Amino acid sequence: MKTEISFLGVKFDNPIVLASGILGVTAASMKRCIDLGAGGVTIKSLSMEPREGHVNPTMAGYDNYFLNAVGLSNPGVKEGVKEIIKFKKMCSAPIIGSIFGGSVEEFGETAEIICESPIDILEINISCPNVKEEFGSPYAYDPKAAAAITKKVKEATSKHNIPVSTKLSPNAWNITEIAKACKEAGADAVTAVNTVSGMTIDTSFQTPLLTNKSGGVSGPALKPIAVKAVWDVYDACNMPIIATGGVTSGDDAIEMMLAGGELVGVGSAVFWRGPEVFKIIVDEMKQYMTNNNIDSLASIIGKAHTS
């Protein structure tokens, strides 16, 4: 029974990876996710300069969804690189870097710095839904902007032979067009998807619960939206996909792979099932393999498209 996945030439012991923004802040927190069963980790998105993010309250969890407007808080790419180096000294598991910026040039500059660290893959976060006031509408809505950023980042990563995955937004009505533009600009893969825009109102105070008013919805409520995005991108682009959004069980992860995902990002599931969720999901996937006489997880990637 093989759970290993080779993604963009990088070997993952299993396809479950820590999604960006959840736990992946320090080397120790990322190493713990590996110890708890993740096949790889994605560091929290890093910017050129440190960011404090939004004022609390920034998060709220409910039965079927999690809402956050943390605001891309991070210590800056130079400090993030230190944590990446520490992580690689602690274990050999793959680590996916993640960056964002306020302009095409800033994406390129940030990529230049993070590529000096031992990342295995670089994810370009062009799709965070809760920083509109600071950065304007996400670049993930505009094919030309998404392509320009992807091309600029590829110029930096190609010197280090580091593959790139551009992270797409479920809010984009033209997500396959965005994916195609990124592919043509040099993206080796796409990550589908980031959180979807949402809001909750505190009825006691009759005001939006989050200081930022709106935020990003993750958790089970996001899953069918994410599955459809993965399906559409796989159909339209025939390129490697990191499928993420609402995965909380082994069956969810299998569903993502059947839709076309090769790796499966897991994030807010730790809210419902605890930090042990990575091993739990992998064990549930193994049980599915046993029940369905599947020898290798790689064999089910995109299989729903042919059945």
pLDDT tens sequence across 230-250: 999 999 999 999 999 999 999
CB 43 within 8 Å of CB 167: no
Across 182-197, average pLDDT: 97
**The pair of three-digit structure tokens given for residue 279, joined into one six-digit string:** 């091993």
Cis peptide before 57 (omega within 30 of 0): yes
For residue 134, what pLDDT is reported?
A: 45
CA angle 109-111-114, nearest 5°?
A: 115
Distance of alpha carbon 295 from its chain centroid, rounded?
27
- Whether 148 contacts 177, CB under 8 Å: no
Q: Give the pLDDT of residue 132.
A: 47
- Helix %, strand %, coil % of the chain (to 5): 40, 20, 40
pLDDT value for 129? 60
> Of the ranges 34-43, 84-93, 122-131, 193-202, which one carries the lowest mean pLDDT score?
122-131
* 127 pLDDT above the threshold of 50: yes
User: Is the pLDDT score of 278 beyond 70?
Assistant: yes
CB 269 within 8 A of CB 33: no
- Max CA pair span of the chain: 55
What contacts 199, CB < 8 A, 6 or more positions away? Answer: 67, 208, 210, 213, 214, 215
Query: Helix, strand, or coil here: 234?
Result: helix
Q: What angle do CA 167, 118, 147 make, to 5 degrees?
A: 30
Asked if residue 61 has pLDDT above 80, the reply is yes
Mean pLDDT for the chain? 94
Structure tokens at 63: 């039965």
What does the alpha-carbon distance between residue 222 and residue 64 come to, in Å, rounded to a whole number? 9
Tell me which long-range contacts 144-148 makes (C-beta under 8 A, separation of at least 24).
144/181, 145/104, 146/178, 146/181, 146/182, 146/185, 147/181, 147/182, 147/184, 147/185, 148/104, 148/185
Question: Domain residue spans in the chain?
Answer: 5-305
Predicted confidence (pLDDT) at residue 130 exceeds the cutoff of 80: no
Q: According to CATH, what is the number of the domain 5-305? A: 3.20.20.70
Residues labelled catalytic? 128
Q: What is the pLDDT of residue 161?
A: 96
201: pLDDT strictly greater than 80: yes
**How much is the pLDDT for 128?**
72
Tell me if 216 sits within 8 A of 198, measured CB to CB: yes
- Range 249-275 average pLDDT: 97
Residue range 136-180, pLDDT digits in tens:
456 889 999 999 999 999 999 999 999 999 999 999 999 999 999
> Strand, coil or helix: what is 5?
strand
